[in-house]
Each structure stands twice: as C-alpha cells, then as structure tokens.
Amino acid sequence: MRKKETRAILCLLLTSLIWGFAFSAQKEAVRFMGNFTFGGARFLLGALSLLPVVLLFERKSGGRKRMRKTLLYGTVGGTVLFFASALQQFGIDMTSAGKAGFITALYIILVPVFGVALKRRPPRTTWVAALLAFSGLFFLSLPRESGILEGFGGFGLGDGLLLIGAAFWAVHILVVDRLAARVTPLRFSMVQFAVCGLLGSAAAVLFEEPRFSGIAAGWQPLFYCAFLSVGAAYTLQSIGQRHVTPARAAILFSLEALFGALGGILFLREVMGWKGWLGGGLMFAGILLAQVTPQTPRKTRKCA
C-alpha cells in the first residue's frame, strides 16, 4: 500500500472517530443550551474555522459568476443541512448517543435508495442491506427489560426524529453530489455551514431563549463539534478522499456508528444490552453491504 493511500486511510479513520464521538458531545451540550442555540453556534463557528483553510487552498474564487453560484448552491445545501442537523440534535437529546450513531448511519443505505428518483438504479445488494439495517433497528427498538434482556429502551420520539434526520442526511449527500462539483468545494462548505448556522440562530431566537452564559458554560462540547466535527473533520475528509476510492471511503465513514456507540459507553456510561449489540451489529453489516459494490454512488460526503 502506498504511503499516500495509507495516510489517506488514517485521515478518514480519524474523521470517522471525530464524527462518532461528536454524538456524545452533542448530547452533553444540551445540558447548557437549547438545541437550536447549539446548532446555530456550532455551524457559525464551524464556518469560521474553515476560513483559514479556504484562504490557504482556494485563494482564487473563480470570478463573480462562480461566486454567485457558490452562494446559491451553498444556500441550498445549508438549508437541507439545517433540517438534517436539527432533527439529529433533537433526536440525540431524547435517546442515547450510541443508538443515535447507528440510526443516523442509515443515511449510507438511503443514499442509493433515494438515488432511484435520480434514475440511478441501486444494485440488488442494496435492498438486502436495507433489510439487514432495519432488522437491526428492530432489535435496537425493543423495550427495555431487566437483567439479561436489557436493551436500549424502545423506539421513541427521539428515534423517529433521528430516522427522519437520516433521510435528510441522505438528501444532503445527493445535493452535495450534484452541486459541490460545480463550484470550489471548501467555499461551498463554508457557505452552507454559515447558512445552517444563521438558520439555527434564527430558530433559537424564535423558539428558545439563548444566553451567552449557557453557551460559555457548554464551550467544551460546542468547540469540539464546531472546530473538530465540522472544521477539522471536513478538512481531513477532503485530504483523505483524494487518494482513496469513494467505496472505500464510505466503508471507513460507516465506522462512525461504532465510534458513536463507543463514545456513549466511554463518556456517558451508556449500557448496551445484548439486543443493542445485536441490533447495532445487524445495522453495521447492512451499512457495509451497501458499500461493497462497484455501483456505490460517486460521493459520500457528510458535511457536518
């Protein structure tokens, strides 16, 4: 294996680790601030963290016409990203970080399924993968019981929000696939993060009472999600995907679900019973099966 490819794989593994542990940070953050407040601050800071990267790697904007396209496409991407991230955040607030990681990872299977609408026929293995994944979701959703039958605690409102959020993540990937290649990618990401942050901040003003004291108290999980999960992870992803095929990158990104469960155990002392491990294992098997195919969609970016 070439050195460049090895470094790329390490970059993508680190990206998955950062994204996976972010579920625990997101759950911790809402102890100090509202969900919309957190989302708005997170993505505005994330956009700010990309500014030096943009100035370093994408100094040329490509002219006014290309800049207008970047603003337009970034606004579309940022709007979809707002719904995806908000649904995820509210869902995490109502369930465990480990469970949230596995349910969110369903977006990897939903991407080729939704691709049917774009006349991209998925391989037959995709439907088998979907069956495996939703079978796993069934076991994750079994009611909590005592003793050896302890599980994650049933399928609640938070799990439903995460499932809808996974659908929005899939739509977001298809939007990025179609629009980001037409403009400079880092500028596109910075714009969509800024738009997502502004929408989150507006929702916080309308539905919450954002306070600087709460944001300051929760600065650690906020900074992790803003500067590592958004800024650093996206930069690592961009570097890593230059030397790794999209199919292999998608498999590495699917490890986010396992890191999410590990983060919940390490940082939040969450407990997975046998049903949790069985359900998570089936979902992970489905996620992997959806990717080990030559017809995997070209891009697998999850820009958050």
What pLDDT is recorded for position 144?
53
Q: Which residues contact 140 (CB under 8 A, 6 or more apart)?
A: 99, 102, 103, 151, 152, 155, 159, 275, 276, 279, 280, 283
Contact 121, 57 (CB under 8 A): no
Q: What is the pLDDT of residue 8?
A: 84
Q: How far is the C-alpha of 93 from the C-alpha of 36, rounded, in Å?
A: 12
List, for the chain, all residue ranges whose pLDDT scores fall below the cut of 70. Answer: 1, 59-62, 118-120, 122, 141-154, 238, 245-250, 291-304
Predicted local distance difference test score (pLDDT) of residue 272: 75
Whole-angstrom distance, CA of residue 230 vs CA of residue 250: 18
E runs forming strands in the chain = none
Task: Note the pTM of the prediction, 2 decimals.
Answer: 0.83
pLDDT of 154 reads 64
Please give the pLDDT value at position 168. Answer: 94
Nearest of 252, 210, 249, 236 to residue 42 by alpha carbon: 210
Note the pLDDT tens digit of each residue in 52-86: 888 887 766 667 778 889 999 999 999 999 999 99
pLDDT at res. 135: 83
Q: What pLDDT score was predicted for residue 258?
A: 85
Neighbours of 116 (CB within 10 A): 11
Q: Residue 196 has what pLDDT?
A: 96
Query: From CA 95, how far away is CA 131, in angstroms rounded?
Result: 23
Q: What is the pLDDT of residue 296?
A: 44
